[in-house]
Structure 1
Amino acid sequence: MEFLPSVSFAKLYWVFTLLITLLGVDPQGLSGGLAMLWKDGNEGSLLGFSHNHIDMRIVMEDGVLWRLTGLYGEPNRSRRENTWRLLKELAEDDTLPWWAAIFPASKLVNLGTSSSDHCPIFLEPVAQPRFSTFHRFRFENAWLREPMCYQIVQSCWEEITSGGIMNKLELCASTLDQWGKEITGNFKGRIKLCKDQLRLLKGNRDSASLQLYDEAKKELFEVLEQRETFWKQRAKHFWLKGGDKNSKFFHLSATKRKRHNQIIKLKDSQNNWVDWENGLSGLIYDYFSTLFTASNSNCHEVVASVSRVVPEAANLEFSRPVSEEEVKTAVFHMHPDKSPCPDGMTPTFYQKCWHIVKTDVIGLVQQFFTSGSFVNGCGDANVVLIPKKKSPQVMQDLRPIALCNVLYKVVTKVMTNRMKPFMDTIVSDSQSAFIPGRLISDNVMVSFEILHYLRRKRQDDSYLYCKATTQEAMRIQELLRKFELASGQRVNFAKSSIFFSSNTELAVRNQICSMLDMSIAEDGSFYLGLPSTISRNKTTVLGYLRDKVRNRLKTWEGRFLSKGGKEVLIKSVVQALPSYAMNVFLLPLEISRDIEQLITKFWWRSSKDDNKGIHWMAWDRLCKHKKGGGMGFRNFRISILLFLVNKLEGSMVWGRGCKLLASTVEHENSFKIQNRVAAADLCCNVATVCWAIWGARNELVWKRKSFNPIDIVAFANRYLDQWRCAQSSDMESSWPLLRARDVVERWTAPHGNSVKLNVDAAMFNNGEQYGIGLVVRNGSGLLIEGRTELFNGQVEPVLAEAIGIREALSWIKDSRWQDVYVETDCLNVVQAIHCSTEMISLFGLVIKDCKKMLANLNNVFVSFIKRSANVVAHSFARAAILYPDCSFSLESIPTELLPSLIAEVVI
């Protein structure tokens, strides 16, 4: 490329950044100048340069050598002869192939100009087609947003009456594939059409145009959500749920996965490179044919030594008929977005269309448990090769993953669920993977204890599963041979290694390794993902954790994430990387500080610049809870110490305290003590409105755009509704969120000097929290006092209503009111209070407390009213999430609670 800024005449400047290396040649005055840039990772050496060319020798990671020459021709036609002479001289200087010879199908395109008088040149290295493309059906989650999808599945399922479920799936797949191309194949055109309609209708104010505008806007939101669902299904980022939800990020993630998993060439057994044109498909076929070919096995010798451990109850459980609930549980416990199988169907299809396909699915599972065989095609699987490292070279660098049909997974999951209750009695205790509560890190701890034990032993007593002698090594070899014959599996000796104590002689080590066909474990070897040995310098041994975090943060993902997306990436992915090692090791302070510094730089780094960014807050403050002004990031050092503290027995601290708490149930604040935990719903209407006001202020200051306050509030409410729907995991549309409000009816005021206390309860956060509203008014309908109470815990709505009555009676007990009428819209609570039957449940205990209080109070009456007459108490209960544990008078009541209260004032 032409490079005009001066870089010091006749000198080369190597500028190293995170991703780019630059080589520049000075211009001559205000013209000329050259620059060559390339990504780090490829080794390049300079062959020569001039004012018209830069010639380099490139060595790729796989050892391939080639030549890259950047040539800038003479702009003066009379001197073009010098350019051709230079090109001929360069061709004679070196025999390495030029870049163009390696990419013969590359394309060169002259792009349009902007402000410059030069046209940029875009060079695209198009790879030669390796094989003919094959379209494979894949069920799209985006189709589920269209009602027509369910109709197609229903019609296909009803069309085939005599065929099996595989025939129905095949017909359903072909029909959906043909219909779905119009849905997921034209996102850009559909979005453009909706935007054009909105642009045409935006200036009209008649009722018909307004209705069409709303319909076009709904359609635009629907298409955008379909596109987001389409790319999210391919991105496979299950961690990104509470942060960004953008199609661009998912699109790039899917593109990166496809490029990373692409296989271009591999080495054969002779260490020769083989590509798709020279028999790579045959190399892969031969490898898996050898790998998956069953060999002669003999398990009688091993089985004869195993006693019967399956109890008769387990046999009866395994052989009983399969119920509908078992099959449904197996289907709905699968992750909906797992990779599709040979028939193209994902678990989402069966979960969302269960009302259509459940009869055939249950019948197939029951048939297998009766006959022991699958229908044709049900047991098929796709073998997918996942690279184990960045640039795989041999077949052993690829991990085969079998993608089985969902129906096959359902059968195996039903079998697994039946076996779970009996695993601890069937499987030996030494098999830690089958023991509930046992972690893989426990095996790591055992291995370290063995190695520490070996260091204190003499040569004759050196143990590594056996004594360090040839006789013991032969016994290990015999055990491995029996294991292979009995299980049909082969031990991968290339990945196996042997540890020896420091006292073992080198000759003995080499002899044992030669017998077992294994290598000696080095100091930097790993076992179950952790270092096998730990030296005195733990910082050096555990330094790989720092490198893992750095490599994860250096990826492109952070460039396309907002602050919310970065927060989720840090909490869900980055800070989880050292967690496995933290279960075993106490991380050195240096490692912890380095990781925290990397996270801090990533958090404050802008999306356009990899290095710059102002650190507005220290790391210690970022680790504080959001309620305390921080971001809730984890402090690694404190987390490790807290983990060790949590390993203490709870009875040492809370043994007597918990019993004391249980004995004070009748105390008026007992349920607060049991349920109150520090928590807050940070995503509330107030925060969203403040954010919208700030955005409107910025638009006014920087773009001179003014907004109506009512429009700002309406925008904030719409945005919050869409955000809340985006956090839900179901496939329902997020647009129809406008809730029908209750019709306000007149409230009946009490007579004389008596007062009326209205009570209601509300549930929040999917039942994780509940609020209670208490409103006391006089005969004129004026507010005497109001209260809001917020509780944490999962309770039934009827129990929340009963707790509200109990709080109301406790409030009356402490006040000086006379003749109080308590009203609630929960008929079950009122009937339970007036009933003499005792109920043995938590609900019954609350009702019992209410009865005791009523017996000690004079002129207090509890009655039932309809929901429409309890609007004010309902609004107070809903406001408990915004104003937890607050009391209001007529002068201090929030403005959003005034409309319902004023509407019931008696004039």
Structure 2
Amino acid sequence: MGDFNDILAKDKRIGQRVKTHPNTEFLQCVNECQVEDVKASGSFYTWSNKQYGDDRIYSKIDRIMANQSWINTYEFAEAVFLNEGIFDHTPGLLTLYPNVISGKKPFKYFKMWKTHPSYESDLKEIWRQSGNGSKMFQTSVTRAKIDLDSIQNQLQKSPLDSNLHMLEKEARGKMIKVQGDYNSFLKQKSKVDWIQQGDCNSALFHACIRQRLRQNRILSIERLDGRRVHEPEMITEAFLEYYKGLLGTKLKQRRKVDVGISARGPILSNEQSTDLMKDFTREEVKKAAFSIPGNKSPGPDGFSSSFFQDNWELIGEDISDAVIAFLESGNILKEINSTIITLVPKCKCPNSVKDFRPIACCNVIYKIATKLLSSRISNILPEIISHSQGGSIKGRFIGHNIMICQDLVRHYHRKANKPSCMIKLDLQKAYDTVEWEFLEEVLTGLHFPNDVLLFSHGDFKSVLYMLQTLKLFSLTFGLHPNAFKTAIYCSNMQEECVNKIRQLSGFMRHDLPFTYLGVPICAKKISRKESETLAYWSQIIIMPKRVLKSIEAICRAFLWKGQAVFYGSGAVAWDNVCESKATGGLGITKLESWNKGAMSKYIWAIANNQESLWLRWVNSVYIKGQSWWSYSASVHSNWYWKRLVALKNQILSLHDSAEFQRHKYVIKAGYKMFNTPKPNTHWSKEVWSRMNTPKHSIILWLVMLNRLKTKERLIKMGIMVQEKCSLYEEQAENIQHLFFSCRETGHCLKEIKEWLGWNARASNVQQLVKWIGRAKISKFKRAVYCVATAAMVYCAWKLRNSVIWQGAKIDANRLVEEVKWNVKARVQFLFPKKLSSVDKECDSIKINVDAALFERNRSYGFGLVARDSNGLLLEGCTTLVYGVVEPVLAEVLGIKEALSWVKEAKWQNVILESDCLCAVQAIRSSLDMISTFGLIVKDCKNLLASLINVSISFVKRSANLVAHSFGKAAILFPDRRFSLEHVLTDLLPCLVAEVYG
């Protein structure tokens, strides 16, 4: 904890005179040390330079950070940053609270319940009763585990009993099923929606659950009077006091709504009224019920929509009748009309009761009814809601309002322009302050957004009328502007007039630019600084080329160096990289072309006279009845409009106008329109075969483009090197020689051809690829030949680099074995049943490693398992170490132990597998990390480089269960080695299960 004198991200510092980007060293240090901020409240910015006006700067440079182990140990810790007072830094106070008893947990339905054998028969009883869902699961797990243990104990006595084999298979299937239920339980609690595939991810789910619990805890809060309270009862009382005062008050002199206002606006036709009043059907109720995501938080009854969706055949008819009866009669049970209020922080560092947003969690039956009503109303909303409302209306795009706003402020920076005024109004939300009688009066007639822009002339009288109208609105509705978020923007107005307006309104004066709906609003052409946070801007404005080039530079640096910054040229020009794979590129999107393709939809909309407020605006202000395709923008037009017209002219040069506007516009087609088509290469399918190892394909791609940095190419680049081949010094090194005219690589090609029965006369890589594309062979054989070609190129290039940079010895036979091993490993990974088609007698050894933590004993262990190609155990090993380490550190220590084991045994052709993706990626990476973890990773890299044909790969947890079992056994059987004949009986079942499925 303390003053780190640097920020982690650019949003951690505000002010006019600040650096655009933070230093990367601090961020790298935090990542390598694996620390994060302790849950914090109070002041978000912890330092101020105490200057005035535009010179004031705020930064978050004081932090209280901890690693995951500390956070798990002190899960009720909170850091409070107080006001700085007369100093420039805010004091940070770390409090370690005792375990907070949050009371009895409410009933909640979990999707895993539906897999219980008696679920359907007990559904009515479960519906009526409350309970803890996890207990039912725990009973199932216990029973399944007891069954499996019992059968496996009998198998130890009679290992050849086929009946017991069948019983074990059934019990194991039951256990796997229940484990899947548990995974479903964790996923539902963690609310992780983006994971669709992969292994059980239980560690991720647990981490997400812990993180959500930490963030949702309110350990202390500041009351309205400024006092901070810590006791749970006092915290509850503080919130109740705040919301009673906010929601329980009424305006003393509320203005009544003039009933003629709604009548003067759009009115529903008889046909629309009849359509709204139609009876609801059961099909509509079902559609509404199934449109509610199943992972949303339930209401007071504890049932999420997944319960209704899972059991619709059983309960759907009753639910449909209940919802329809409510909609017809207007009567609803109090239990259904109840909600649970959840407090969600409005800001990153909530401090006061005002800093939380109340969210209502409604019952699903209530949600279904509101879904039905909203679906009916959504069809007629475009007819009755003003076109000035762009968002939340079907068929309208909020970007149109942003572009109109850009037009209205385009003269704000010109001194010769007439006085103008704009108020960016932020209304306090309906849950903050609302007059319920007003809602009853206007529910069917009016619709108000939260963020409003008001424009007027710059004379005092015009602005005064606008403020009076706003006050009348507040007195009627009960919604008041948020004085802290509402801002006034003035252009060429007298300072005396501006001060009067500020005093009358209580609003602050701001200057352009400002952000509206995520997009910068500015009078001048948008600059690079204002374009830093892209969001969805590229669909609303034509982005500056410098911004797009900066993004592409980051992508280019990551592709060639794995870094964010890279100065120099890549192996292939970026324009060629952005070509499709079929035409010789990598298929990366060209940002400028995509931006133009996205913006072309507005050109298409104007050409087809699409109905919207923005189109009416541009037709009235700019086009004025002229032909769109022959229109030219005047010099006084807005900067974005000039760019749009220039884009229109570019489209005319590429496309026929009638053909362009005939079909419905799709951005994908627009993107293609701005890219010059190139002929397809003859080798793309072979280079990018789905079966190829990706890193092998990249090297083969560079070879086919003749962009690999051989000695011949380095000399052309002006780099003085010896031109002779490093593998066979009699000839110059170039693509043609290295693949495969060289004696060493040519020997490899000959051996691989014989091994695969490959009857091709081709003698270099270009001929090989061409032969594969033209040969009449099976798809599987074609894929294997592609894998072999890419592996030969990769391994040959790797050997050449090892000879140059590490002084490795040239061993042609070792090169052949490495290629064979790569081919077999790839086929085994993708098509395990077809491995015999490549090589039935595979001599490789597979080693699995896993770590286990024993927190109660303050120790950790490793499980190492070596097996042959048939899955039979060669040797197993358990190791126990006393001490407390992070899980990822234990995993990388286990990998180091496994590599040392391989070196001691002098094994070759080894596949080392771990289920720790972080450790595997770190070992494969070329980056060095200055930390304990980084030092151990470096040792692993050195060990790996000293071994013959040994590689490390990541596997899912489900594929690493044997090593996991050995790791868990380290606490009972420490520092032991086992052969197949002497393996422990407790570990034998997992070995048998993996071999025989």
Counting only pairs closer than 5 Å after superposition, residues 635-646 of structure 1 correspond to structure 2 as 635-645=590-600
2:541 and 2:271 map into 1 onto residues whose CA distance is 43
Secondary structure of residue in 1 paired with 2:596: helix
Tell me if 1:484 matches 2:474: yes
Secondary structure of residue in 2 paired with 1:148: coil
Supply the AA of the counterpart residue of 1:584.
I
* Partner residue, 2:196: 241
The normalised TM-score by structure 2 is 0.48
Deviations 1:596-642 (A, max 9, x none): 67678889999xx9999xx9998888867677898866453442133
2:297 and 2:401 map into 1 onto residues whose CA distance is 31
Aligned Cα root-mean-square deviation (Å)? 4.9
* Partner residue, 1:707: 869
Counting only pairs closer than 5 Å after superposition, residues 631-780 of structure 1 correspond to structure 2 as 634-645=589-600, 648-649=603-604, 653=656, 690-692=828-830, 700=845, 705-708=867-870
2:413 and 2:174 map into 1 onto residues whose CA distance is 71
- 1:300 aligns with one of 241, 257, 264: 257
Tell me if 1:538 matches 2:527: yes
Q: Is the 8 A contact 2:578 2:588 kept in 1?
A: yes
Supply the AA of the counterpart residue of 1:306.
A
* Partner residue, 1:802: none
2:232 and 2:559 map into 1 onto residues whose CA distance is 46
- 2:169 aligns with one of 200, 214, 232: 214
* Partner residue, 1:883: none
Secondary structure of residue in 1 paired with 2:496: helix
Q: Is the 8 A contact 1:294 1:488 kept in 2?
A: no
Q: Is the 8 A contact 1:342 1:382 kept in 2?
A: yes
1:525 and 1:306 map into 2 onto residues whose CA distance is 37
Deviations 1:64-103 (A, max 9, x none): 89xxxxxxxxxxxxxxxxxxxxxxxxxxxxxx9999xx65
Tell me if 1:519 matches 2:508: yes
* Partner residue, 2:493: 504
Counting only pairs closer than 5 Å after superposition, residues 122-137 of structure 1 correspond to structure 2 as 125=96, 127-137=97-107
Secondary structure of residue in 2 paired with 1:143: helix
Q: Which runs of 5+ in 1 are unaligned?
A: 1-14, 24-35, 46-57, 66-95, 104-124, 157-170, 546-577, 661-677, 711-907
* Partner residue, 2:114: 144
Q: Is the 8 A contact 1:330 1:414 kept in 2?
A: yes
* Partner residue, 2:137: 183
User: Alpha-carbon deviation of 1:188?
Assistant: 9.1
Deviations 1:544-590 (A, max 9, x none): x2xxxxxxxxxxxxxxxxxxxxxxxxxxxxxxxx3412222344455
User: Alpha-carbon deviation of 1:518?
Assistant: 1.3
Supply the AA of the counterpart residue of 2:170.
E
Supply the AA of the counterpart residue of 2:107.
F
* Partner residue, 2:875: none
Q: 1:646 to 1:196 in 2, by over 3 A?
A: farther
* Partner residue, 1:584: 540
Supply the AA of the counterpart residue of 2:287.
T
Greater CA drift, 304-313 or 406-415 = 304-313
User: Alpha-carbon deviation of 1:346?
Assistant: 0.6
2:200 and 2:403 map into 1 onto residues whose CA distance is 40
Q: 1:390 to 1:140 in 2, by over 3 A?
A: same
- 2:82 aligns with one of 60, 63, 69: 63
- 1:335 aligns with one of 293, 298, 302: 293
Greater CA drift, 253-262 or 529-538 = 529-538
Tell me if 1:172 matches 2:317: no
Secondary structure of residue in 2 paired with 1:149: coil
Supply the AA of the counterpart residue of 2:473.
F
Q: Is the 8 A contact 1:389 1:397 kept in 2?
A: yes
Q: Is the 8 A contact 1:448 1:533 kept in 2?
A: yes
Deviations 1:791-830 (A, max 9, x none): xxxxxxxxxxxxxxxxxxxxxxxxxxxxxxxxxxxxxxxx
Q: 1:315 to 1:431 in 2, by over 3 A?
A: same
2:379 and 2:525 map into 1 onto residues whose CA distance is 44
Supply the AA of the counterpart residue of 2:510.
A
1:152 and 1:262 map into 2 onto residues whose CA distance is 35
Deviations 1:114-171 (A, max 9, x none): xxxxxxxxxxx5x224454221111112222334323321x43xxxxxxxxxxxxxx6
* Partner residue, 1:469: 459
1:645 and 1:343 map into 2 onto residues whose CA distance is 49
Q: 1:450 to 1:98 in 2, by over 3 A?
A: closer
Q: Is the 8 A contact 2:83 2:91 kept in 1?
A: no
* Partner residue, 1:901: none
Q: Is the 8 A contact 1:498 1:519 kept in 2?
A: yes
* Partner residue, 2:28: 18
2:371 and 2:323 map into 1 onto residues whose CA distance is 11
1:317 and 1:323 map into 2 onto residues whose CA distance is 13
User: Alpha-carbon deviation of 1:519?
Assistant: 1.2
The size of the alignment, in residue pairs, is: 548
- 2:317 aligns with one of 359, 365, 374: 359
Q: 1:341 to 1:701 in 2, by over 3 A?
A: closer
Secondary structure of residue in 2 paired with 1:363: helix
* Partner residue, 1:393: 351
Q: Is the 8 A contact 1:201 1:212 kept in 2?
A: no
Tell me if 1:426 matches 2:422: no
Q: Is the 8 A contact 2:303 2:364 kept in 1?
A: yes
- 1:369 aligns with one of 295, 314, 327: 327
Q: Is the 8 A contact 1:534 1:541 kept in 2?
A: no
Tell me if 1:43 matches 2:33: no
Secondary structure of residue in 2 paired with 1:384: strand
Supply the AA of the counterpart residue of 2:348.
K
Q: Is the 8 A contact 1:423 1:434 kept in 2?
A: no
Deviations 1:694-734 (A, max 9, x none): 99979626676333599xxxxxxxxxxxxxxxxxxxxxxxx
Q: 1:240 to 1:642 in 2, by over 3 A?
A: farther
Deviations 1:172-201 (A, max 9, x none): 1626x3565130688699679858966975
Supply the AA of the counterpart residue of 1:141.
K
Secondary structure of residue in 1 paired with 2:498: helix
User: Alpha-carbon deviation of 1:264?
Assistant: 2.2
Q: 1:235 to 1:604 in 2, by over 3 A?
A: farther
Q: Which runs of 5+ in 2 are unaligned?
A: 1-24, 39-59, 65-76, 85-89, 423-454, 609-654, 664-683, 693-778, 784-825, 836-841, 848-864, 873-997
Q: Is the 8 A contact 1:265 1:274 kept in 2?
A: yes
Supply the AA of the counterpart residue of 1:707.
S
Q: Is the 8 A contact 1:392 1:398 kept in 2?
A: yes
Supply the AA of the counterpart residue of 1:476.
M
Q: 1:354 to 1:226 in 2, by over 3 A?
A: same
